[in-house]
Structure 1
Amino acid sequence: MYLLFLYVTLFSLSALALYRLFFHPLCRYPGPILAALTGWYEAYYDIVKRGGLVVEIERLHKLHGPVIRIGPNTLHFNYRQAYHDIYTYGSTLVKDQEFYSSMGAHVPQGSLSFCDPEAAKQRRGLLQPLFSRRAVMSLEYTIQQKIDQLLAMLNDNYNSSSKTVSMAVAYRALSTDIITSYCFAESSNILESPGLSHPILRGVEGILNKLWFQRHFPFSMTFVSIVPQTLVLWLLPEFEVYLDMKAKFKRQIDSFINNPEALSIAEHETVFYHLLEPKGQERPSQASLLDEAVVVVGAGSDTVGNACNIGTFYALKYPSIRQKLKEELEEFWVDKDLPMSYTALEKLPYLTAFIKEVLRFSMGVVHPLPRVVGPSTPKIGGLKLPSGTVVEMSIVFLHMNPDVFPDPYTFNPDRWLVEDTNQMMLDLAPFSKGPRICLGLKYISHPCLAWCELYLIFGNIIRRLDLKLLVTEETIDNFASDCRDYLVPRWEKEYRVFAQQ
């Protein structure tokens, strides 16, 4: 019996391999044989090569051309028209259930895991008012308060070459304090924690460290949710911080449910005001509210934090860039002890060009985001593909396209000061495109939360501080060429600074 089972299994696997290699609708597209045979090809580069998938895809495109097969049923593209086709066709392409269910296994009822276009549309409808210009402007005072706190901390605690700080950590602390205030009307106050060591920061870092294991072994999160917590922590002690973070969010959500008046008297609108008091919709479940909190805090802290970290590095690395920024800011912001509004800062041309270049380099999500071709999907990059085909393109290939951005790996804000930037603006997509674009950005030319934070943070940091870059063997040299794919970019090296008095 066992021998028969073995023969049947071997025959089935052989037949499947032959089908995928020679008879599958995608068999005519080039790519590694192993990738055509199994999805574990991607797992190898995600886990064993530690976020090396995008680097491998770059190599494959150089070898095989603009369309490659990187999975049994998956094509990856490397030209701009394909990107816009994939991510702007709306409901004719849907998010790949297998990918997003595993990526969101820790938040199964959060919007990250929503693959049904109608469910995603309803959740966005609840949150959309919070990211309008009016709502963002009401938060400006809170953002400025947090920036003032960051500047004071840098001046007081990190003010010599022997007292330096990682700006990656400092900016994540700042952006997390802002987004938790926006969620709950109660900041996490990470900037007040000694050494910027705080459970929420460690919790978000822990999620990123385990992300690819969760992606390819999603049942691990089911294990975490059903077994006693003491056993989980004995087997996986690093989960303690993450579980503590979720427990804190749960307490805050429970307090709002029990005392909804607390949200209505907050000094600004909050995410949970709209989620708990939905108009024309049923209120999300408690579990969904908790998962949404983790999604919003994670996304809101990482994207802006990464952008600020990268921009500050290049402003310090290239004195000419910093000098242009300082001269422009000094001309329009005469008294640096008085706050400068977001609406005033967004009118500064070089600062705006600088932020656009920062967003091009920071990229947002670098991992390819898969979409599934539907029966009514138009051509993708000029190709009519079978329904059910998974298509994707990493933002790296859009932002680093030399045909649109000459010398793409050079950080150059001046590229945005030319007369016609329409094509570059079309291809600047750090928060994706189309109906699934990040709510914090909405449209790249439309003022929103991300833009507001970036203008205020860079304006204040450059105008009111004199930061010095500490260069050592462990200092990163170029963010664009040293990027690892952990869904969002991560780097082996960092940089440290101190505030000159």
Structure 2
Amino acid sequence: MLKLELSWSNVAAVAGIYAVYSVAKAIYRVTLHPLARFPGPLLAALTYKYEWYYDGFKDGQYTAVIAQMHEKYGPVVRINPEELHCNDPAFIDTIYVSGNKRRHKSQYFLRAYGPTSALGGFATADHDHHRLRRGAVNRFFSKASITNLNPTIHDLTQRLCNKLLERSPEPFDITNAYSCFTTDVVTFYCFGQKKGFLDQDDFVPNLRNAIIGGCKMLPTVRQWPTIFGLVQSVPEFVPLYQIITEDIRKIKDAYEEGREKAIMEQRSIFIDILESDLPPSEKTVIRLGTEATTMISAGTETTAWTLTVLTVYLKSQPEILAKLTDELNRAVEDPKNLPSCAVILEGIRLSYGVATRLARIAPDEVLVYEGTFKNPKSSTETHIKYSIPRGTPIGMSSALMNVHPDIFPEPHEFKPERWLNADGTRRKNLEGYLLSFSKGSRQCLGMNLAYCELYIALSALVLRVFPHLKLYETSVADVEFHHDCFVAGVRPESKGVRVVIE
């Protein structure tokens, strides 16, 4: 019988081979790699750990570092060994294209969401597979279908307002209330049942901690995917997985037994999926559970945070709030042209939606970028042209594009009027630069639902709750973008958006 003996010479040999391999890989990445000619920091080209240092160790600061790269190197930069980032608004429709042009997602980016995440639409890398899955639920998120949900959203909005007005005059974090509201809306649409998050006295427990906690872990899991199982076992994450898995199993069992109407107040998204022409592999509990997790995670905290941002800015700028209140009271015939539309768009812009970069891969074409770059040292303007190799991930970040000064002057100021023409109509061309919901064929599925929630909820809050609401030891600084936490992260010392109801 052969015996394996571990000796220092064996260890040295393995270490030597690994060292040679690492050096060879590093040399390749900065000399022969297809992206070697693109500008950016040397360390970013050499290793993914450069990204993790800022996102994992320094808590979501890589987006700020990418912004500095653009200032130094130009509108297209290499941010890791395999990925580019662009900060030119003119290139949005090339990266995030609609129609028949295919766009994949990066496997490196998606591996942060765990081994089963590829079963859900958001983390489906392949363009055609994503299109198949999205097609099964698209009609549920059309404007016509969302209109049918209006009575439920109105009912939950009034319940939210009633709960807020019934509170004792003690300070509390209003984001918890908004999170319960958006969770009740999304879970009702997904499962056909009201979950009653709004019925809780203090708006806790809710799913916010689970979702935000999961977002904080993404940079580390992206580097070391094998630890995803440990993340799932963290106590604050368990309720999210339990609720979703149990509900999906109940819906599937009820459907197979022909009693789905007995457990639902209205038809749910997942009954439609079960009745669709999708193959059986697309209808398993784990697949549907992953899809539900994506819908709930994406559809709750982003919209809740927009309501939070709007609350702070409107209460901090009474002249804008007064104008909005007056317009709502006068109930102009066409609500699409109300200042509330402009206010909501400005709230969406400064809440960022998905704040992290969202890369796309063009598998069938070479993308050609042409632009100019003004060197900060010499102040000379240079024409640049890049051919981006097919198969290369390239993306943008709403955290940068939503405050691009060429598109949004005074970008960090809350100015709803920027969204309106002189005659008060919407500047729809400006909306093409808003990346909170992304763009193209993979644009956020729940965008119409989010807009509907925001229109209905903000109108009711302004008229019913805001006259009695005051910010408590809270300022605009508590909602300003500080770091990338997949969604927008705020300064660490913030105690939340605390308010009192008087």
TM-score by length of 1: 0.87
Q: 1:374 to 1:247 in 2, by over 3 A?
A: closer
Q: 1:108 to 1:426 in 2, by over 3 A?
A: closer
2:312–2:471 CA contact under 8 A, matched in 1: no
1:39–1:72 CA contact under 8 A, matched in 2: yes
Match of 2:363 among 371, 374, 388: 374
Give % identity: 29
Match of 2:32 in 1: 23
Match of 2:272 in 1: 274
Aligned partner letter, 1:73: E
Mapped pair 1:134 → 2:137: no
Tell me, in whole angstroms, the C-alpha distance in 1 between the residues paired with 2:445 and 2:35. 34
Tell me, in whole angstroms, the C-alpha distance in 1 between the residues paired with 2:396 and 2:202. 39
Aligned partner letter, 2:450: A
CA offsets 1:42-90 (integer angstroms, 9 cap, x no match): 1111111111111111122222222221111221111112232111166
Cα distance, 1:266 vs structure 2: 4.6
SS at match of 1:25: coil
Residues 214-229 of structure 1 aligned to structure 2 (within 5 Å): 214-222=221-229
CA offsets 1:275-313 (integer angstroms, 9 cap, x no match): 121147655222111111111111111221111111111
Unaligned runs of 5+ in 1: 226-231, 334-343, 442-447
Mapped pair 1:495 → 2:492: no
Match of 1:64 among 73, 83, 87: 73
Match of 1:361 in 2: 350
Match of 2:380 in 1: none
Residues 177-192 of structure 1 aligned to structure 2 (within 5 Å): 177-192=184-199
CA offsets 1:372-398 (integer angstroms, 9 cap, x no match): 242424324553122232211112232
Range with greater deviation from structure 2 (389-398 or 49-58): 389-398
SS at match of 2:79: strand
Aligned partner letter, 2:239: V
TM-score by length of 2: 0.87
SS at match of 1:88: coil
Q: 1:25 to 1:57 in 2, by over 3 A?
A: same
Match of 1:386 among 389, 394, 416: 389
Tell me, in whole angstroms, the C-alpha distance in 2 between the residues paired with 1:298 and 1:239. 12
Tell me, in whole angstroms, the C-alpha distance in 1 between the residues paired with 2:69 and 2:463. 44
Tell me, in whole angstroms, the C-alpha distance in 2 between the residues paired with 1:240 and 1:376. 43
Tell me, in whole angstroms, the C-alpha distance in 1 between the residues paired with 2:73 and 2:208. 41
Match of 1:351 in 2: 340
Cα distance, 1:460 vs structure 2: 0.4
Match of 1:203 in 2: 210
Q: 1:324 to 1:118 in 2, by over 3 A?
A: same
Tell me, in whole angstroms, the C-alpha distance in 2 between the residues paired with 1:411 and 1:470. 17
Aligned partner letter, 1:291: T
Match of 2:308 in 1: 309
Cα distance, 1:265 vs structure 2: 8.4
SS at match of 2:483: strand
Range with greater deviation from structure 2 (51-60 or 454-463): 51-60
Q: 1:345 to 1:296 in 2, by over 3 A?
A: farther
Aligned partner letter, 1:384: S
Tell me, in whole angstroms, the C-alpha distance in 2 between the residues paired with 1:247 and 1:440. 21
1:346–1:455 CA contact under 8 A, matched in 2: no
Range with greater deviation from structure 2 (304-313 or 418-427): 418-427
CA offsets 1:458-493 (integer angstroms, 9 cap, x no match): 110001222433342x6452634x332111112232
1:86–1:380 CA contact under 8 A, matched in 2: no
Tell me, in whole angstroms, the C-alpha distance in 2 between the residues paired with 1:151 and 1:278. 38
Match of 1:170 in 2: 177
Residues 387-402 of structure 1 aligned to structure 2 (within 5 Å): 387-402=390-405
Tell me, in whole angstroms, the C-alpha distance in 2 between the residues paired with 1:489 and 1:245. 25
1:168–1:306 CA contact under 8 A, matched in 2: yes
Aligned partner letter, 2:283: P
Tell me, in whole angstroms, the C-alpha distance in 1 between the residues paired with 2:336 and 2:391. 46
Aligned partner letter, 1:470: L
Range with greater deviation from structure 2 (262-271 or 204-213): 262-271
Residues 428-443 of structure 1 aligned to structure 2 (within 5 Å): 428-441=434-447
Cα distance, 1:222 vs structure 2: 4.7
Q: 1:52 to 1:157 in 2, by over 3 A?
A: same
CA offsets 1:173-213 (integer angstroms, 9 cap, x no match): 10001000111111221111231112534432332233333
CA offsets 1:398-437 (integer angstroms, 9 cap, x no match): 2111111111111100111224724312112321111001
Cα distance, 1:30 vs structure 2: 2.2
2:251–2:271 CA contact under 8 A, matched in 1: no
Q: 1:237 to 1:352 in 2, by over 3 A?
A: closer
Range with greater deviation from structure 2 (24-33 or 164-173): 24-33
Match of 1:469 in 2: 470
Match of 1:256 among 230, 254, 263: 254
Tell me, in whole angstroms, the C-alpha distance in 1 between the residues paired with 2:63 and 2:278. 42
Match of 1:82 in 2: 91
Range with greater deviation from structure 2 (41-50 or 255-264): 255-264
Match of 2:126 in 1: 116
Match of 1:445 in 2: none
2:305–2:351 CA contact under 8 A, matched in 1: yes
Tell me how large the CA RMSD over aligned residues is. Answer: 2.4
Match of 2:328 in 1: 329
Q: 1:106 to 1:475 in 2, by over 3 A?
A: farther
